[in-house]
Amino acid sequence: MLTNLQQQPADALLALIKLHNADPRPDKIDLGVGVYRTGQGETPVFGAIKAAERKLVEEQDSKAYLGPEGDMGFVEALMPYVFGKDSPDMGGRIEGMQAPGGTGSLRLALALARRANVKRIIVGVPSWPNHAQICADLGLEVVEFNHARADGTVDMDALRAALAGAGAEDAILLHGCCHNPTGIDYSPGDWDEIAGLVSEAKILPIIDLAYQGLGMGMDEDAYGLRRVLVAVPEALVCYSCDKNFGLYRDRVGAFYVMAAEPADLPRIMSNAHALARANWSQPPDHGAAAVRLVLEDETLTAQWLDELDQMRERMRQVRARLAAAGKAGTVDLAPMGGQNGLFSIVPLSKEQVLEMREKHGIYMAGSGRINIAGLTAGNIDKFIAAVAAVAA
C-alpha cells in the first residue's frame, strides 16, 4: 500500500540550508534560516534560560506525564504578557494549554475551528507557508487576500473586501505582529479598524502571535491581539516562545481560547484536550518548564526582557542601515526601516535570487524573503552591493 504514496517536493528551506553548508566560500551569507543571530552570527541560549535550566535540573523531582494540557503554570504565567496585566483571563473567559511550538498551537487552533464547523480560513498572502499546508491537511479551504501593496504598506482595501465577503462558517487568520514573511505590520489605527470589521463580520479570529517582543516591544506587539479580543465574543490565540525565548529546538508554544461565556470553556477545552491527545498526547516539558521558572522569578524575568530588548535593538539597527542605503539598483530598501521582526521580502525575481546565490554566495528564499538577523556589520555592505549588482 505504501507504494501508492506520491513523491512530495523537498522543503525548499531545508534544501537551501544544505546548499549553504556545502558552499566553500568563506564570505557566504545565510539569510534563509528563520532564527535570530547575534552580530557575530550566533544563535545563543538566553542567559535567563540557562539559569532556569540549572534550577530545573536541581529541583525537578519527576519526569511523570503532565497530561495533554502540559505545564499549566507555564500557560498561566504567560497570560499577563499576552493579554495584559489588568485582566489576563478577560473575566474568566480565557483558558489555555501548552502546545509543541507555535506550529503545534496553530495546528490545534485550526483543528478545533474545523471541529466547530469552520469551513474556510481567510488568510492574507504572502503568509507563512505552513498556514496553507495545515489548512489543506485539515480540509479547510483557504480564501486569500493581498496582505500588502507593492509600495510596502498594508493593503487595507483587500482586507476590507475579504471581510465583507465573509460567511457564517469562516474564520480569519491574522499575524499578531512581525509579519512572516514581509515584516509589514498593521498600525494601531489599522488594528482598531480590523477589530470592528471582524466584529461586524461575526467570524472567528485566529491570531498567530509568534514573535512578541521582536517588533516594537512586548505590549506594543500585543496591541492588535488585545484590540481584537475586546471587540469579539470568541477567539483562538496561537503563541510561540521559540523566538522570544530562543527555544527553537525545544518547541515551546501555548494555545488559548477566549469563549463568549466562562461556562463555555470546559466544553471547548475538552475538545482541545481530545485533539491534543490524538495528535501528540503530551507536549514536551523541558522548555516550557524553563520559561515558567523565568517568569516566576523577578530577577530572571528582568534578565530575559533585557536580552529580548537587545535582540530587538540589533534588528532595528540592521533595518536602519538598510533603509539608509536607499536604492540598491532598482530595489528600494528604504521601506525595510519601518518593518518589524526577523523577516522582509527583497523584490527580486527567482532568477535574481539565484544570481545572488551563485555569484555572491548569498542564500535567501526563492520568494526574496530574507532573515534580517543574518545581516551583520561585517556583511551588510556586501549584501547591499550584491542587490545593486543583480538589480542594476
Summarised one tens digit per residue, pLDDT across range 86-122 is: 888 889 999 999 999 999 999 999 999 999 999 999 9
Q: Domain total for the chain?
A: 2
Strands (E), the chain: 29-30, 94-100, 120-125, 141-146, 170-175, 204-209, 235-240, 252-258, 327-328, 331-332, 343-345, 362-363, 369-371
Mean pLDDT for 142-150 is: 96
Distance CA 211, CA 253 (A): 11
Same domain as 95, residue 141? yes
| pLDDT for res 208 | 98
Whether residue 247 is contained in a domain is answered as yes
Mean pLDDT for 355-369 is: 95
| pLDDT for res 10 | 80
Give the pLDDT band (50/70/90) at residue 259: very high
Give the pLDDT band (50/70/90) at residue 8: confident
| pLDDT for res 87 | 85
Same domain as 113, residue 176? yes
12 or 60: whose pLDDT is higher?
60
Same domain as 242, residue 119? yes
Give the pLDDT band (50/70/90) at residue 363: very high
Which of 241, 275, 296 is where one domain is finished?
Answer: 296
Q: Of 208, 221, 242, 285, which residue is the catalytic one?
A: 208
317 or 8: whose pLDDT is higher?
317
Mean pLDDT for 121-135 is: 96
Task: Write the DSSP assignment of 58-108 as a string of letters.
Answer: HH--------TT--HHHHHHHHHHHH-SS-TTTTTTEEEEEEEHHHHHHHH
Distance CA 33, CA 243 (A): 13
CATH number at residue 201: 3.40.640.10
Q: Of 30, 71, 128, 304, which residue is the catalytic one?
A: 128
Same domain as 15, residue 160? no
What predicted TM-score, i.e. pTM, was given to this entire model? 0.95
Whether residue 59 is contained in a domain is answered as no
| pLDDT for res 206 | 98
Same domain as 222, residue 81? yes
Domain that holds residue 232: 65-296
Whether residue 33 is contained in a domain is answered as yes
Same domain as 348, residue 292? no
Q: Of 185, 191, 242, 243, which residue is the catalytic one?
A: 243
Is the confidence at residue 9, as pLDDT, over 90? Answer: no
Whether residue 57 is contained in a domain is answered as no
Distance CA 77, CA 62 (A): 21
Same domain as 209, residue 334? no
Same domain as 244, residue 122? yes
Q: Position of cell 534563509?
A: 32
Mean pLDDT for 74-85 is: 97
For 297-328, write each residue's pLDDT tens digit: 999 999 999 999 999 999 999 999 999 999 99
Please state, rounded to an integer, the average pLDDT across all residues of the chain. Answer: 96
Whether residue 264 is contained in a domain is answered as yes
Give the pLDDT band (50/70/90) at residue 130: very high
Q: Does the annotation mark 243 as catalytic? A: yes
Which of 272, 296, 320 is where one domain is finished?
Answer: 296
Nine cell digits for residue 15: 534544501
Which of 245, 267, 296 is where one domain is finished?
Answer: 296
Give the pLDDT band (50/70/90) at residue 254: very high
